[in-house]
Structure 1
Amino acid sequence: MTSRRALPQSFVVANTAMLWLATAIASVELWPIYQSPQFVVVVLVAMGIGTLIAIGGARYRWSSLVVLLVTVAAYFAIGVPLAIPSRALFGVLPTLDGLAELATGTALSWKQLVTITPPVGSYQALLVPALVLVLVTTVVGLSTAIRGRWGELGALGPITLFVAGILFGPATAVLPLQLSLGLLGVVLLWIAWQRWYRRREQVRALAAQGTVPGGAPVEATADRGLIAARSLIGAVLIIALAAGSSVAAALALPPTTTRQVIRTAIEQPFDPRSYPSPLSGFRRYEESGTADSTMLTVAGLPADGRIRIATLDSYDGIVYAVGSGAVSSESGSFTRVPYTFDQSAVTGRRVTVTVTVGSYTGVWVPTVGKFESIAFAGNDAAALRDSFYYNNASGTAAVVKQLHAGDSYTLSAVLPRQPDSGQLASVGPGAAVVPRIGVLPENLLATLDGWVKGVDGGGARLVAMIAALKKAGYLSHGVSADEPASRSGHAADRITQLLTDQRMIGDQEQYAVTAALMARQLGFPARVVFGFAPKDANATGVTRVLGKDVSAWIEVDTAQYGWVAIDPTPPVREIPAAQPKDPTTIARPQSPVQPPVEDQKTDNSPVPPDSTQDEPVNLSPILVVLLAVLRILGWVAVGAAILLAPFAAIVAAKLRRRVLRRRAPTPLQRISGGWQEFENSVIDRGYTPPPFPTRTEVAATVGGMKPLVLATVADRAIFSPNEPRAEEADQVWRSVEAMIITIDRGRTRRQRIRAAISLRSLGGYSVKKLFKR
């Protein structure tokens, strides 16, 4: 791998510049993961140190083992201040704790990186993977480029960095087309320059040995001749063709699904389905001894502010839960959040609250609005910070360690803009996806139909349903002797009882579930929110959240405002005495409106229950299979067209060159063009004449009498004072075609294809010798 002669300074500088440019473009793919100025420092310093190691290894002819040891030593010297700045002494010197964390992070931080929500900034040791990737790819890539026999392989360093950025990055791509084309252009230009430089050095070596025929000036021929120009033009044309094909394909066939990366495939360590639904313990907050105890102490809570414990969107007829085990639910996927979450797209008021935990315990972290950042305090702050998880789809936060009395944290959030009652009546259903309802309580559709009958419009029907629920219902927790009986729970039979009893009696647990299920039947995606609704919230002071402040409400997704919070709980009022039971109770009539078929498949369908839909067209199984096969063949054809486009361009260029030569205006030009066509053809087929050969030398390289005769005819026609006849030009072209057919006769199909797409006659290189010195 080592070179026995000093490397030219221009060669080292050019390769270094190419590597830096390619690495800079590839590093941009890592930016969405970190989005921190410290990441930029890591990339720049790692590139600089890696470059010094690679050039030093080439200058002093270090072995691969020595380069490896120097790289490891440099990594531990700069790793702590760069990747774990919080563990560095005075910000620049590594500490023992920092070195231990660096060593651990080298092995474990990769998994942590894909189980935490980006951007991660400089959180813990998560900058270690970026430092390792940039440093290693720089050392290996530049060492290969300036010392390796196949210097073109040095481009694999930036390519590896780019691929790693995609795999470890978020599911949403940032500038995918621009970065891909930029890296492709730099890599192809680098490879073309490497090949041109090697070819020039070979010609100079031949000139130094005195083997260049005729003593032609090497500098004029190799450096400023058509070879360099054609190589550069060929590289530019290939880059332009590849870029054009990629852009056209991306515009014509944009991706229809999110990008599948490691973090989308890996199983997240926090599963909300491993914990009981928090709504199941609703009544315990109302029991004696808990109702008047301080659950939380909150500073800065806005007036009428609500505290979210958890958002529940999956109902199986027994409990409303966070996420669903049967279907994919965005609310069921929790990821670690290092320090902040971008909520710039949310319109609303920003607030900062400080929460001190009292009697409250559990894994669910009380929050307000849409979470932006959190800072834990107290003795367990580090443990809580490391076990914090968040789901942005539902706005639910959790800590695996669980909260206990004395824990505290400061939370920054955005309170989304909410519509008033008049605006709510004009909203339409949103497009959010929620899990399918498992079991629908009996009489729910019949009751809903009676409440919204004669009301038009999705928003108006939603408002009418909420108003009817508040008007017909009475509030009772049933935990004391002076309250009417009210059974806890929110299973389907409990909701049916609520709707069919003579008096509709329940609390927030039942009313929130009933309202959410009815909103789903009206076409609105809906979910239940469990939390606290303190009555004395004061943004300028401290709010004591008591156990009896427990509440539940619903959120519905609207096309105009996103998720809107609605409280369906009836007001506190006197509950009338029950009427004597009639021994001949008449059952309520069933509603003539049946649930739409689509609701059994998609719960967030905007079609109301009393609307009709066309039945789907039942296609023939044979036609379905045929359409699937045609679709697959279409995609294969598109992919093949993109892959074969550069080769088709090469074949087209050769065909155009041949036509121009054969249709030249004079017989002399046609004879000269015929010989050039023969010479180009034999070069593409692997023959290697001497540098700057005569026609006789080319014919001798091919072998046989016919090439020598053709070379003699071409020399006589070109150097003769008489103008050749048109018949002689035609005879030359027929001889050329016959000899090419003879040469191809003993070749395999693969060899003939390789000759057709060879770039040697166009100033480039054959596929066979792409990586040969």
Structure 2
Amino acid sequence: MIRAATRRAPRPAAVSTSTSTSTSPSADGPPAFPQQAWIDVAVIGVLCLLGILGLETSFGDYNFLLAGLGGLLVGTAVAIVGYRLRLGVLTAVLAGVLAYFALGTPFTMPAQGLFVVLPSLESTAGLALGAVFGWADIVTLGTPVEAPYYMPVLPYFAAWLVALVSTMLASRWLPGRRRTVWRASLLLIGPVLLYLAGILMGTDEAYYAALRGVAFAVIALVWIGWRRSRGSVAASAADLPNGSPVRVGTDGVGTDGVGTGRVGTGRLLRRKVLGTATLVVGAVLVGSLAGAALTPPSDARFVLRDEIEPPFDPLQFASPLAGFRMYTKTLADTPLFTVQGLESGDLLRLASMDSYDGKLWNVAGSGGPSGSGGPGDSGSFRLVGRSIPEPVLATSVQNAEVSITATGYSDVWLPGIGYPHTVDFDDADSRALAENLRYNSSSGTAVFTSGVEEGYEYTIAAALQQTYRDEDLENVPVAQLTLPTVQNIPDVVVAKADEFVGTTETPIDQLRAIEQALKTQGFLSHGLASDGAPSRAGHGADRIDELFTRSQMLGDQEQYASAMALMARSLNYPARVVMGFAPEVPEGADSVEITGTNVTAWVEVAFEGIGWIPFFPTPDQTDVPQDQTPKPKTEPQPQVRQPPRADNEADDLLTAVEIDDSTEDEQDRDFELPAWAWAVIFGAGIPLLAFFGPLLVIAALKARRRRRRRNRGAGDLRVAGAWEELTDGYGELGFDVPTRSSRRQVAEQLEAQQLEAQQREAQQPDTAQQPSSLVTLARSVDRAVFNGQPVDDAAVTRHWSEALASLGAVRASAGWARRLIARFRIRSTRSPRSTRSGGPGRPGRPGKP
């Protein structure tokens, strides 16, 4: 007996998961954000935070974290809201830009905002300037970076940009594709760039480099591994042939249930946990050992601020020492500034100069005269905020605080005391003044790029260099510093240095010997009429040569300080000339008035581990011995007859020329907008541009789309274009437009949604108006497309008129909020051919623009 075999009809493959990742919008509300994308967004946020922490060495405190976290929140929130509102990519990006300006003020510049949280003209401009110029400022300004005021915008902008792009990729691009390692790795591009930015824009001292690097690598690797294991099962099931049932457990791993190697959920989970733990432990051990072995020393780290030339070049201004005689002659009795809090013996520093070219002592250029400029050069001035970096070489046990008010002083060199900790301007616009301040921490010299003006008031809190006795410095060597080389030292200076040093051996004894020789053998003269002997100004090589070759050494602080510094440099000692003021402070005086007679100059030499020790080689003696050389007698010269006067009149030798007395500046100032007009333009222009700019671009794109659909192709294609324009308009208004249905089915669903929307807005179902019949229009379009007969222009015009009328009616019935959002959305049918033939359109998310 032969038994007939029966076959069961094969069932289609089914895949079921315990975790739903459906992103289809429901009829009751906007589409839900993909569940798995929440994990991706959280991981991206943690990795971005690790990258932002690298900027701590540049900002000096943790206030920048508020800006970074604000950027992450704003960028992520805009991407999520844009997804749920079904905004297109372009529209979502434009919304992100608008949110960047609208919400950035409290995170970055609350002091400049209106009521702390609302954007103002100044904060809006700062958000734009920080995003554009902050990248260059952070690597050229001194640390901690506190000025300009828009510097916190940099971490805010970087975090906002990375969060916006990464969240859009995680929610829109990744869920619809098979999960692979390289696709998941694309989400790490933004956090990796943010991490590298924290390294390159930091300082030589990294912020927990090993800990942050290991944590970043572990989180990224574990996330890629777990996400790939969940996504690969569903993809594998989709690749199975029809009739092969697959059941997916709660962990996302399929089991066949027929004895073909079932893997238990608990066993697989244990394997994954064990593998993850092994990966974490291995990454920590390898990262720690490799980091300890391969991490470069601080001075060998590559950071951009060490490679970029500072923007301020002091060589654009005259050497302070070149104007020494101006103070002693022209400004001798002129009040320059008033100082409060000064004690007896305190010196005001104006500038420290360590470069000599045979003509002038000056601060080194931004690249140094020898081309080896660096952060320690006297010419490396950087913009600083209220807090000022600590000096490179100094020891201090005493602090001082002085308040200085400028009266008759006007120059770029800012008088100060010691090595400042903070500089506070007392002017109402103190923040704007602080942005003009540049400081060199190695020399203690500050410059004011816009120039000090009368009435400027500022307070300096500074550390004073500790004083040492010569006995304390007997066994201390000079510091090993790389200073700019001095050029064209006169031979007599080298010879005199050897003569003055004699048999002394230690650096402090040799320097004191030079100081005492100059002070006791020379005479003081400022070249005034009241001085006993004339003294020529200048400190070039010829003037220093003259100082030692004349019968008597004669000069003032300019010449003696220059000569001693050159002698010390000839002995390979790191010396520099300092110019400043040495006022006499009466006992119990609250303030001191500084005049030109208080100007002075001295020499400083750096000792290892001690700091810069001052030396004062200028003599006090002013009674110069008179030379006995008789003056030559004057001999009368014979008179010479003058030539006769020419007959030509002076007017005959001149040509009439018309001269325009008006200058170019006066001509350029013929038309200038007042300040209030600029404030109105920027205050209203930026918000209007942010709103109407995207609106005009999208409107132009829609108009171009409508023209192409209405005017291009045969009549049936143009009629089909009318239907496409109608459905796109519905989709832009927020309706769920199916992409795999016939025109009649689409019309029925749109009518149902329109009726439901009217009932919901009216809250009274019996008062809602029946929407215009789209089914009739859909049937008419189908007849025109599929009857095989030519479609004339009249039929095309009729269909377009009906489609636009129906679309206008639904727009009029929609609320103002939906109409406003629709203006910023642009939806386009993917495949015109499939629409014409009635087949399904290109696959895509239902209702997605």
Alignment pair present for 1:438 and 2:491? no
Assess if the C-alpha contact under 8 Å between 1:316 and 1:437 holds in 2: yes
CA distance in 1, matches of 2:98, 2:147: 22
Which one of 241, 245, 255 corresponds to residue 210 of structure 1? 245
Alignment pair present for 1:247 and 2:291? yes
CA distance in 1, matches of 2:449, 2:225: 54
1:188-242 per-position Cα deviation (integer Å, ceiling 9, x unaligned)? 2222222222234446768996146554687725972676357536644762475
Q: AA paired with 1:325?
A: P
Assess if the C-alpha contact under 8 Å between 2:70 and 2:156 holds in 1: no
CA distance in 1, matches of 2:588, 2:56: 37
Alpha-carbon shift at residue 441 of structure 1 (Å): 1.3
Alpha-carbon shift at residue 167 of structure 1 (Å): 2.8
Map of 2:378 onto structure 1: 331
Q: AA paired with 2:287?
A: A
Map of 2:166 onto structure 1: 141
Map of 1:260 onto structure 2: 303
Map of 1:718 onto structure 2: none
1:525-573 per-position Cα deviation (integer Å, ceiling 9, x unaligned)? 0100011111226685101111011100011110131112222222235
Could you say if the C-alpha distance between residues 218 and 72 of structure 1 is closer, same or farther in structure 2, counting changes exceeding 3 Å? Answer: farther
Alignment pair present for 1:471 and 2:516? no
Assess if the C-alpha contact under 8 Å between 1:458 and 1:523 holds in 2: no
Task: Name stretches of at least 5 consecutive residues in structure 2 with no aligned partner.
Answer: 1-20, 26-30, 178-182, 247-254, 631-849
Map of 1:715 onto structure 2: none
Could you say if the C-alpha distance between residues 59 and 198 of structure 1 is closer, same or farther in structure 2, counting changes exceeding 3 Å? Answer: farther
- In our comparison, the structure showing a higher alpha carbon Rg is 2
Alignment pair present for 1:388 and 2:388? no
Listed as ranges, the matches of 1:157-168 within 5 Å are: 157-168=190-201
Which one of 102, 113, 134 corresponds to residue 138 of structure 2? 113
CA distance in 1, matches of 2:591, 2:467: 25
Q: AA paired with 2:308?
A: I
Of 92-101 and 72-81, deviating more is 92-101
Could you say if the C-alpha distance between residues 75 and 466 of structure 1 is closer, same or farther in structure 2, counting changes exceeding 3 Å? Answer: same
Which one of 306, 319, 328 corresponds to residue 286 of structure 1? 328
CA distance in 2, matches of 1:223, 1:46: 42
Could you say if the C-alpha distance between residues 21 and 360 of structure 1 is closer, same or farther in structure 2, counting changes exceeding 3 Å? Answer: same
Listed as ranges, the matches of 1:619-658 within 5 Å are: none
Which one of 309, 312, 318 corresponds to residue 350 of structure 2? 309
CA distance in 2, matches of 1:387, 1:223: 67
Could you say if the C-alpha distance between residues 284 and 76 of structure 1 is closer, same or farther in structure 2, counting changes exceeding 3 Å? Answer: same
Map of 1:321 onto structure 2: 362
Assess if the C-alpha contact under 8 Å between 1:172 and 1:259 holds in 2: no
Alignment pair present for 1:530 and 2:579? yes
Listed as ranges, the matches of 1:466-545 within 5 Å are: 466-536=515-585, 541-545=590-594
Assess if the C-alpha contact under 8 Å between 2:148 and 2:435 holds in 1: no
Of 234-243 and 20-29, deviating more is 234-243
CA distance in 2, matches of 1:427, 1:303: 28
Map of 2:387 onto structure 1: 340
CA distance in 2, matches of 1:364, 1:430: 27
Q: AA paired with 1:259?
A: F
SS in structure 1 of the partner of residue 417 of structure 2: coil
Map of 1:199 onto structure 2: 232
1:326-373 per-position Cα deviation (integer Å, ceiling 9, x unaligned)? 333311111111221133985332222111112211111111111222
Could you say if the C-alpha distance between residues 2 and 325 of structure 1 is closer, same or farther in structure 2, counting changes exceeding 3 Å? Answer: farther
Which one of 403, 410, 413 corresponds to residue 459 of structure 2? 410
Which one of 401, 405, 417 corresponds to residue 356 of structure 1? 405
Alpha-carbon shift at residue 444 of structure 1 (Å): 1.6
1:663-698 per-position Cα deviation (integer Å, ceiling 9, x unaligned)? xxxxxxxxxxxxxxxxxxxxxxxxxxxxxxxxxxxx
Alignment pair present for 1:228 and 2:269? no
Map of 1:623 onto structure 2: none
Alignment pair present for 1:269 and 2:311? yes
Alpha-carbon shift at residue 8 of structure 1 (Å): 9.0
Identical amino acids, percent of aligned pairs: 32
CA distance in 1, matches of 2:234, 2:586: 80
Could you say if the C-alpha distance between residues 506 and 277 of structure 1 is closer, same or farther in structure 2, counting changes exceeding 3 Å? Answer: same
Alpha-carbon shift at residue 325 of structure 1 (Å): 3.3
Assess if the C-alpha contact under 8 Å between 1:84 and 1:122 holds in 2: no
Q: AA paired with 1:395?
A: G
TM-score (norm 2): 0.63
Assess if the C-alpha contact under 8 Å between 1:317 and 1:491 holds in 2: yes
CA distance in 2, matches of 1:540, 1:206: 92
Could you say if the C-alpha distance between residues 451 and 404 of structure 1 is closer, same or farther in structure 2, counting changes exceeding 3 Å? Answer: same
CA distance in 2, matches of 1:131, 1:537: 53
Alignment pair present for 1:173 and 2:173? no
Map of 1:81 onto structure 2: 106
Assess if the C-alpha contact under 8 Å between 1:303 and 1:537 holds in 2: yes
Assess if the C-alpha contact under 8 Å between 1:300 and 1:539 holds in 2: no
TM-score (norm 1): 0.69
Could you say if the C-alpha distance between residues 451 and 483 of structure 1 is closer, same or farther in structure 2, counting changes exceeding 3 Å? Answer: same
Of 272-281 and 529-538, deviating more is 529-538
CA distance in 2, matches of 1:19, 1:540: 62
Could you say if the C-alpha distance between residues 296 and 236 of structure 1 is closer, same or farther in structure 2, counting changes exceeding 3 Å? Answer: same
Assess if the C-alpha contact under 8 Å between 2:105 and 2:119 holds in 1: yes
SS in structure 2 of the partner of residue 224 of structure 1: helix
Q: AA paired with 2:486?
A: I
CA distance in 1, matches of 2:474, 2:36: 72
Alpha-carbon shift at residue 399 of structure 1 (Å): 1.3
Listed as ranges, the matches of 1:577-616 within 5 Å are: 577-578=626-627
CA distance in 2, matches of 1:379, 1:88: 17
Q: AA paired with 2:75?
A: G
Assess if the C-alpha contact under 8 Å between 1:123 and 1:339 holds in 2: no
The number of aligned residues is 578
Assess if the C-alpha contact under 8 Å between 1:152 and 1:194 holds in 2: no
SS in structure 2 of the partner of residue 371 of structure 1: strand
Assess if the C-alpha contact under 8 Å between 2:147 and 2:434 holds in 1: no
Alpha-carbon shift at residue 118 of structure 1 (Å): 2.3
Map of 1:711 onto structure 2: none
Alpha-carbon shift at residue 40 of structure 1 (Å): 2.3
CA distance in 2, matches of 1:175, 1:538: 51
CA distance in 1, matches of 2:554, 2:535: 6
Which one of 608, 611, 618 corresponds to residue 562 of structure 1? 611
SS in structure 2 of the partner of residue 152 of structure 1: helix
Map of 2:800 onto structure 1: none
Map of 1:102 onto structure 2: 127
